[in-house]
Structure 1
Amino acid sequence: MTDPTSGAVLRGAVDLSALRSRAAAPAPAEAASGVSLVFDATDETFGQVLELSRSVPVVVDLWAQWCGPCKQLSPILEKVVTELAGRVVLAKVDVDANPQLAQGFRAQSIPMVVALIAGQPVPLFTGAVPEQQVRDVFDQLLQLAAQHGVTGTVPVDGADAAETDAEPALPPHHQEAFDAIEAGDYARAVTAYEAALAENPRDEQARAGLGQVRLLLRVQDLDPQQARDAAAAAPLDAAAQFAVADLDLAGGHVDDAFGRLLDLFAVLPADQRGPVRERLLELFALVGDADPRVARARTRLASLLF
């Protein structure tokens, strides 16, 4: 397995983009009767397998009926996955029946085992390997998944109800931030998320959480009426406009928040626009690029820049 401390393992190993957007049938790992830890994946269902990998690591076993080493390896993979009790799932791909997946993973020889973390492929090994080696590789895989914020589990059929209903354990800094938020101590939550990002700059859950608690911290002690009166009295005061934009965003008035800052950006001299642009980008990230309100605001910002 590639060095799990290297972020490069999540970039460019194989191109699965064509499969990501495929309209998929109901994912076999999400049957109404419960979640199976081992299931067959196909060209048609693989889009949902990619989505599943955003919450739990998915190990992909590329095999074929005629492959002797595959028949040796598959029971080992299933045994280790079962013992991990929902922390990893196993997607089995018959390369003869699913040529698009075989091509996407560049399966030149089988058995070939690849993991998916947050939709990105991580090569594990090729060929039949001993059980202990499989266990070692899976341990590294779980460490890598945690570094990238993929720490969920799937409920296991027949497991104790208290176990299946329990929330998966959060990484330590995330738990500290959650506890701080519950206590209303947003400053401590900011510090915890910053510590998580210092350890793993790719932790997108920590990055999103940090943006949210920074917003909560900024609006925590604001008096809405006083803030709006101050903004009305000083239309070119960036700090005053920032405060009202934060209140609007926190209250769900997204277009009002974006519009206020874009209007300010439009009238400020070029050498004073930097902080307004930075705050806009921060608020865009909080709402998410997929939101059409962000797309409209980005278009207007681009028109003002050029």
Structure 2
Amino acid sequence: MGLSIDEQKAVDRFRSEVVEPSMSKLVILDFYADWCGPCKALAPVLEKVAGEYADKGVELRKIDVDKEQFIAAQFQVQSIPTVYAMFQGQPVADLTNARSESQLKQTLDQILAQLPIEGGEVDGGAPQKDVSQFVEMAEQVLAEGDAERAAGIFGQVAEMAPDNAAAHSGLVRALVQAGHVEAAQAAMTSAEANPAVAADPALAQAKTALELAGNRVDDSELAELKSKAAGGDMDARYAYAEAAFAAGDRDGAADELLAMFEADREWNEGAAKSKLLQIFEAVGLEDAWVVATRRRLSRLLFG
């Protein structure tokens, strides 16, 4: 993986001290430094609450950002203290703003009620399957461009709540965005085999993403399509836009389709606009890139 010896040792420590315990427990992961005043103020709160919640499946692990700079960098820690809740090797919640004992307990109660953690039941009740906050977290991660991590979160949510169509849809879209089209197709097949998921409208977005991914070509073919599109032929431009999006070049695809629409909005019964709308659906209407690109289309429509 191209890691140095020290980096590999750091990864091994993190795996044994954090990832492995998180496979069956909820790990509170505290990024701190000895010189950090707010870290020292928060530490007793984390330790007290983690101790009280130990029988509910909670453990505390601390990462010194000065000694474990490589691990802190992987989590993109920008300030300290930074605190995450980890489950099965993935962050499932950001606990940084839960600075008081009551805030931390309330947040942990919500998380434990939604995860299949042994001893993780709250007030004697059965664990709940309302995983909406984790779906929202994964959608945010996907919107920020980290498709690999989003796929990991969506996958875990789908395992916890197999009838949650939004999680299955998100998993397919994240895998597509990460370039794992075959895995995305397998995830779609699995989702469609579940009657509770197959008919859900949320799966339509994932199907659109898979359909668009089917236009993927290799780099040489993409370059050839781009060269042909430069000649102005509308069919060639359309083919290039499809291939560019499938290759992950959303901007290139949108620029081409918007330019086509501006040149001849009625071409092929409005195909350029229709393809843009299909792309918007595949990416997600709340995605920041989609919102910005829709504004560009609106200016052409109503400008």
The TM-score, its normalising length taken from structure 1, stands at 0.41
The one of the two structures with greater contact order (alpha-carbon pairs below 8 A, sep at least 6) is 1
The TM-score, its normalising length taken from structure 2, stands at 0.42
Relative to total residues, which structure has the larger helix share, 1 or 2? 2
